[in-house]
Chain A
Amino acid sequence: MALYSEKVMDHFRNPRNVGVIEDANGIGEVGNAKCGDIMKMYLKIEDDIIKDVKFETFGCGSAIASSSMATELIKGKPVSDAMKLTNKAVAEALDGLPDYKMHCSVLAEEAIRSALEDYEKRAEKTAQ
């Protein structure tokens, strides 16, 4: 039996939306190198829609796959939908993760949320 599902391996080998958005208006980073996982999400939001999303990840195979899947799940979606993204949805979309790797999907959810919060903070600042 393989360590990961085919889906996880696909997203690990060919991660979607890898990289940086230079003019991102929402950036979130979670995790720390001490624990072995860091995820950074870049969002470009226009008219309340996630026009573009990119990620950078330092971590294991499932951390990279979870980041990739999370970006796929929110790309093109309204901000309100993205706010509802759960780690469970990320893990399910990957056809499951081993129990001890579920924290990778949690990290992906937190990274997206952190980037969205950053976007909202910036939006409030501009409104003031």
Chain B
Amino acid sequence: MIYADNAATTKMSEAAINTMISVMNDNYGNPSSLYSFGQRAKEILEGARVEVAALIGAADPREIIFTSGGSEADNQAIMSAAALGKKNGKMHIVSTAFEHHAVLHTLERLKKEGFEITLLDVHEDGLVLPEEVKEAIRVDTALVTVMYANNEIGTVQPIREIGAICREKNVLFHTDAVQAIGHLPINVSEDNIDMLSASAHKFHGPKGVGFLYAKKGIKLTNIIEGGAQEKGRRAGTENVPGIAAMATALKEACASMKENAEALTKHRDRLITALNEIPHSALNGDAHKRLPGNVNFCFEGIEGESLLLLLDDKGIQASSGSACTSGSLDPSHVLLAIGRVHDVAHGSLRLSIGEDMSDEDVEYIIKSVKEVVEYLRGFSPVWRDLMAGKTPFIL
């Protein structure tokens, strides 16, 4: 099996699994309990908070709020900024057209509550222009939220510049860094970030756990009401084993970030060069300003789901932005946002490779993708019409 869907989720690291098991076995107490056994769990929890804060350059561990994952963190960041804005008569939010649905759907909800949403263009290369952020900010802007790296096409946004603009304009800045944390060097202080969302299972931690970084002084609105956990900002008994494992995984990922990125970039660039040789194909998103492990292509004349199923038969797990894989009639909003028309957006393939990939794996993927694309084109009426000149090639 060649797992090339690390943007969907990653394999847990052995160290993270060991941390999780040891906490479950030996420290299963409730951190809110006053006896020493409970307080030991509390120590583990707070230790993880200190570690995570340090790894992302947060000034104070209290700026870290543990959540159930990236979606919850996105929801809480945006809803909090909206509540603060509303209080001050600021009912405008700036974001981008290719955010994750955890952001886009939250913004849609706010739209129904009277907020005005500006979604910035991400252009053909999948990159937000800082000057366009600047132009979009108004006196009544409550929040700018731009993802650190896109989950489908992997393009890395100029976060530091956008953050600087927001600081200058005195507007809150949130970034969904779910795909970037543990893979790219992030420092919330240097990157001018006010709020940041992260999810453990994207960097070899467990599923169902993540965190929100919120700079000191930002009043958060609860998404989950109840007990006084997380200083009253997120109720519910803390997922101590998951949180501890997340800290272990993040520490590991940050420690080996440079060599991981180098190895992945080499594989990524080999894949991009080789898949570009397939006629009438195109890389989605900028070739260089992208995550080290992300490759995303459109192949004209074929449909993504059948491509994935045949790759699965060859032992390769990947992903696609075709309508059939999304359960709706529209292909990926990300591909549409970078200007891919429906016809070619249906034929997309995302390979998100992991650190364990070998040179042989990469060559096998290239050979397999070429075979499958050629096979599917062999009985595609769309491809026949393109080849016969009845319809013009798009790519």
Contact = CB atoms under 8 A, between A and B. Distances in A.
A56 interface: yes
Interface residues of B, number: 25
B324 A36 contact: yes
A13 B322 contact: no
A29 B384 CA distance: 13
Interface in B324-379: 324, 327, 329, 331, 341-343, 346, 379
* Residue of B302, B324, B327, B343 with highest tally of chain A CB at under 10 A: B324
Nearest to A55: B379
A15 B310 CA distance: 13
A78 interface: no
Given A33-B343, A34-B343, A100-B327, A58 B381 contact: yes
A80 to B, nearest CB: 27
B305 interface: yes
Interface residues of A, number: 28
Interface string A1-22: 0010000010011010011100
A37 interface: yes
A113 interface: no
A61 B325 CA distance: 11
B279 to A, nearest CB: 17
A64 B306 contact: yes
Chain B CB within 10 A, most for which of A20, A36, A55, A101 = A36
A57 interface: yes
A5 to B, nearest CB: 13
Contact of B306 (A12, A20, A55): A12
A35 interface: yes
Interface of A: 3, 9, 12-13, 15, 18-20, 29, 33-40, 55-61, 63-64, 100-101
A61 B309 contact: yes
A57 B343 CA distance: 14
Contacts of B323: 35-36
B306 A56 contact: no
B176 interface: no
B277 interface: no
Nearest to B300: A33
Contacts of B379: 15, 18-19, 55-57
Contacts of A64: 306
A9 B312 CA distance: 12
Nearest to B384: A56
Contacts of B72: none
